[in-house]
Amino acid sequence: MAREIVIIGGGIIGCTTAYYLSRHPSTSSSSTKIYLIEASEHGPAQGASGKAGGLVARWAYPKEIADISFDEHVKLATEHNGKERWGWRYVNCGSWEGRREVAPPEEGIGGTKSLEKTLGLPGGQKPIRSKRARMANHLPKDLLWLREDLTDSYVPVAKEGSTAQVHPYLFTTSMFELAKTNGVQYLNGKVTSIVCTEDVVTGVEYTNREGETERIFATHVILAAGAWSPTLVNELPITATRAHSIIIRPKEGVTIAPYVLFTEIVNFKTSAHRSPEIYARPDNEIYACGPGDDYPLPSTVDDVVVDPLSCDLIYSDVSGISHELREGTVEKRQACYLPTVSSGGGPIIGEAARIAKGLFIGTGHTCWGISNAPGTARALTELIMNGKIECADLKKLHPSAIL
């Protein structure tokens, strides 16, 4: 069967799906053409997929996609030397509670929406702490880059071997490069509409870099445009949450042990709590992100507005609990949009045949798109190439269950 597959969006979902499609056994032997269209003038991974923390967890949610995704991450890292190529490694992950040393700048700036990563843990919002763990404020022996004297509790959130990390920009761009090597064609432009004839997808229309309108034929369209997905299919219940993050480079000679931390930092003056996430990365950079806000989604990823005060607040919080972070240099201040299914649940994975036959959706991955991308990509590939999803039961995530 001849297939012309157009993927809209060069984030982690689009690029990983392009990679899985390009590797399917019948892709090379049949007349399958695969195109990936990305709107950013800088190419793929400019949105959340390049600016996320990069946690990969077996305890991510929803369970049905988290499990297969974790195994797929392991396979990809083994096959393509993910350790060197995208910073794959198993990582310690803990929940830290304590106080900060210096008073933060004005309260009331920055967002307040939790990114809700810990919802997948057995205890729900927070890991279950035993009384003993609460009383023991000792940090793990190698976690030397947090102030023990400001620590009230540290609890590992999951058992060893169930949490890993990638550098999300490097993972996404590696998937993109590998897909191109396997024959996927890249188009740089902004899709303006999905073209249908009698409720069957027949192509997409896009504006190229020169500002001209072009149309490309398609038998299958995969919508993986993250928070922008409803701009093309307005039935999608996806909302966009902006979140800020910073990258800190420690002083030369300082090594940051591999930990990802969910923090709860109390300002002893005002009793206000803040919860930045902190990620040590293999190249010794430290990523930290804050809560989300409702700042409106711009028309493209290149126009995302970064609020410097929100970034300063993250730095102020994390530098208040660590000498090493305080003495480091802030190398990047950035923001991106999380695609969230407003009716709850998600992501949405499958063919939206009620809207148009041949329209496939892969979006709404909330705070777990990096972790859950390979499972999503595998499921969409099986659906398009084999006619059904074989790797997992994803009925609950099917567009008809959510739209």
Ligand X SMILES: Cc1cc2nc3c(=O)[nH]c(=O)nc-3n(C[C@H](O)[C@H](O)[C@H](O)COP(=O)(O)OP(=O)(O)OC[C@H]3O[C@@H](n4cnc5c(N)ncnc54)[C@H](O)[C@@H]3O)c2cc1C
Residues that bind ligand X (CB under 6 A): 8-14, 37-40, 46-49, 52-55, 115, 190-191, 224-228, 232, 243, 245, 289, 301, 336, 338-339, 363, 365-371
Alpha carbons 270 and 104: distance in angstroms, whole number: 10
Strand partners, 340: 239
Comparison of 39 and 352: residue with beta carbon closer to ligand X:
39
Q: How far is CA 78 from CA 82, 83, 374, in A?
A: 7, 8, 14
Which amino acid type is present at position 316? S
CA distance 176 to 224: 14
Least distance in angstroms from the C-beta of 51 to ligand X: 7
Q: Which is nearer to ligand X, 33 or 242 (CB)?
A: 242
- Of 58 and 147, which has the nearer Cβ to ligand X? 58
Residue of 308, 302, 256 whose CA lies nearest to 280: 256
Angle at 242 between CA 226 and CA 171, to 5 degrees: 50
Compute the distance between CA of residue 117 and CA of residue 186 in angstroms, rounded to an integer: 32
Token pair listed for 243: 């979140």
**Residue 60 DSSP one-character state:** -
How near is the Cβ of 155 to ligand X at its closest, in Å? 19
Q: Which is nearer to ligand X, 85 or 167 (CB)?
A: 167
- The span from the CA of 275 to the CA of 95, in Å, is 10
- 45 contact partners, CB below 8 Å, separation of at least 6: 10, 11, 12, 15, 168, 169, 172, 173, 176
d(CA 194, CA 125): 39
State which residue, 289 or 392, has the beta carbon closest to ligand X.
289
Q: Which is nearer to ligand X, 59 or 228 (CB)?
A: 228
- Shortest approach of ligand X to residue 161 CB, angstroms? 17
Question: At its nearest, how many Å lie between ligand X and the CB of residue 82?
Answer: 15
Q: How far is the CB of 224 from ligand X (least distance, A)?
A: 5
Distance of CA 391 to the CA centre of its chain: 21
Mutual orientation of helices 12-23 and 369-386 as an angle, nearest 10°?
40
CB-wise, 147 or 281, nearer to ligand X?
Answer: 281
* Residue showing tokens 């919002």: 125
- Which CB sits closer to ligand X, 150 or 361? 361
**At its nearest, how many Å lie between ligand X and the CB of residue 66?**
9
Residue 386 CA: distances (Å) to CA of 26, 32, 351, 379, 390? 9, 13, 13, 10, 9
For the chain, what percentages of helix, strand and coil (3-state, to nearest 5) are there? Answer: 30, 30, 40
Smallest distance, ligand X to C-beta of residue 363, A: 5
Minimum Å gap between C-beta 192 and ligand X is: 7
Q: Based on CB atoms, which residue is closest to ligand X, 101 or 293? A: 293
Is the CB of 27 or the CB of 241 nearer to ligand X? Answer: 241
- Please state the closest distance from residue 52 (CB atom) to ligand X, in A: 3
- To ligand X, the closest distance from the beta carbon of 26 in angstroms equals 25
